[in-house]
Amino acid sequence: MFTAHHLKAIENKSTPFYFYEVDLFRATLASLNAAKGNYHVHYALKANANPVLLKEIVSAGLGADCVSGNEVKHALDNGFKANAIAFAGVGKSDTEILRALEAGIFAFNVESIPELEVIHELAKKTGKQAAIALRINPNVDAYTHKYITTGLEENKFGINPHEFDAVLSKIAQLHHLRLEGLHFHIGSQIQDLSVFKNLCTRINEINKWFLQKGTNIAYINAGGGLGVNYHEPDNYRIPDFKRFFDVFRTFLDLQPQQVVHFELGRCIIAQCGSLISKVLYVKEGVTTHFAILDAGMTELIRPALYQAYHKIENLSVNLPATSKYDVVGPVCESSDCFGKAVLLPPTKRGDLIAIRTAGAYGEAMSNHYNLRSAEAPVYFST
Ligand code: LLP
């Protein structure tokens, strides 16, 4: 809910822009830290790499999870320690690997046997040791949108169990690699916690397999994926981190020396951000009214790409929501639609519209399609 204080920060600005509630963000980080106990959390920069927000994350003591060389650089430039940076991704280039080796990152999350060979070759050439975790495809269904499901056999991510023997024989020959962890990430926007229980069961089986082979695994990285409530952002402002971590505390069977890492993105930042836009036109269709905004899929692509729901509010009118609008953007694509038949109060040109829960994968996925203006500006509540 936007307080008078927030509304003041929003008024008289040119739209569209992203608005982050820093007070809520700090409270979210405090709640995460209170719940995580001795678990290590790396923030997934891909969700939102805005430097102002990263500063808060560094102060809260989190590490970073990166998926490109530029993200690794950005994390270092914004104060994350190299030894707290995990570097994942199915397609790391030689240049990206070399830079990460140079920086001395915490771990490469390795996704295939050919990647093991390339990291080894580059580490050998530069006289380094690369600390690695094997990204494992546990074949656990995340029951989320198919574009953000990653842990099934048919997905491109991770190493499949039938390759484990070959991986261990390979690693035994690659002396510039140090196997330290097992990494899992099965998908994003997971709200049913029983999915994480299923993940724990698979992790236990796989961890046991490696142990029986005499491999010393120092840590488990259970990835990210905790979902948020897009339908009721005001009732679920801060995710229930305790319930999430308790699943792992209850169901993971660890060796005494083993520690657990996570790579959370969305649940840390999603509820803290909104996309603020203005109504350019209200247009009467044959069966519907259209509210045409000055923000589009260029500022928030999630509805177009994943048919994702985001709550839409009219901040200018304090009347009951009695009319239905298709809320659309200006981009020349029919998929540039934030919501169909959205209940709003009677809405007119110039009204300010908030598209909620846009903190994760909003600004980070913005683009310039249709030669729309470069980055939309960003404002923060104090
Ligand atoms: N770790 C790895 C290896 C990942 O691939 C991801 C996200 C994360 C951690 C962080 O996941 P999170 O906690 O944010 O769920 N653009 C999509 C989401 C794509 C997620 C990609 N990987 C969306 O807007 O829903």
Residue-by-residue DSSP string for 96-130? HHHHHHHHT-SEEEE-SHHHHHHHHHHHHHTT--E
Q: How far is the CA of 281 from the centre of ligand 1 (A)?
A: 35
pLDDT value at 152 more than 70 = no
Please report, for the chain, the start and end positions of each structural domain, with discontinuous segments joined by +: 22-270, 272-381
At residue 142, the pLDDT reads 78
Instruction: Give the separation between CA 71 and CA 94, rounded to whole angstroms.
Output: 15
Mean pLDDT (the chain, rounded):
95
Closest protein CA for atom 16 of ligand 1: 361
- Pick from 43, 78, 71: which is nearest to 268 by CA? 43
Please determine, for residue 382, whether its predicted confidence score (pLDDT) is greater than 70: no
Does the beta carbon of 277 lie inside 6 Å of ligand 1?
no
- In short, whether 115's Cβ falls inside 6 Å of ligand 1 is no
Over range 239-248, report the average pLDDT. 98
pLDDT for position 347: 98
Same-fold call for 22-270 versus 272-381: no
Other beta carbons within 10 angstroms of residue 341's beta carbon come to 11
d(CA 314, CA 303): 18
Q: Is the pLDDT of residue 65 over 70?
A: yes
**Which position has the token pair 């909003």?**
362
The pLDDT of residue 134 is: 98
Q: Which of 48, 69, 96 is nearest to 375 (CA)?
A: 48
The CATH fold of domain 22-270: TIM Barrel (3.20.20)
Residue 152 CA to ligand 1 centre (angstroms):
15
189 lines ligand 1 (CB under 6 A): yes
DSSP 14: P
User: Which atom of ligand 1 approaches the CA of 47 most closely?
Assistant: 14
The continuous run of DSSP H or E covering 40 comes out as strand 40-44
What spacing in Å lies between the alpha carbon of 250 and ligand 1's midpoint?
24
Q: How far is Cα 53 from Cα 82, in angstroms, rounded to an integer?
A: 18
Ligand 1 nearest-atom number relative to CA 150: 5
**Nearest residue CA, atom 7 of ligand 1?**
188
Q: Which of 377, 310, 360 has its CA nearest to residue 57?
A: 360
Q: What is the pLDDT of residues 250-278, one digit of tens each?
A: 999 999 999 999 999 999 999 999 999 99
CB-ligand 1 contact for 188 (6 Å cutoff) = yes
Q: Which residues pair with 274 in a beta bridge?
A: 19
153 pLDDT band, cuts 50/70/90, is low
Is any atom of ligand 1 closer than 6 Å to the C-beta of 195? no
CA distance 142 to 196: 8
Contact between 161 and 206 (Cβ < 8 Å): yes
Residue 185 in contact with residue 152, Cβ under 8 Å?
no
In the predicted model, what is the mean pLDDT of residues 240-245?
98
> Half-sphere exposure (CA, 13 Å, Cβ side) for 365?
17
In degrees, to the nearest 5, what angle opens at C-alpha 189 toward C-alphas 183 and 191?
100
Q: Which ligand 1 atom is the nearest neighbour of the CA of 308? A: 25
* Confidence grade of residue 148 (pLDDT, cut at 50, 70, 90): low
Query: What's the angle, vertex CA 243, arms to CA 241 and CA 247, rounded to 5?
Result: 115
From 28, 40, 188, the mutation candidate for ligand 1 (largest count of ligand atoms within 8 A of CB) is: 188
Cis omega before residue 16 (within 30°)? yes
Of 2.30.33.40, 2.30.40.10, 3.40.50.720, 2.40.37.10, which CATH number belongs to 272-381?
2.40.37.10
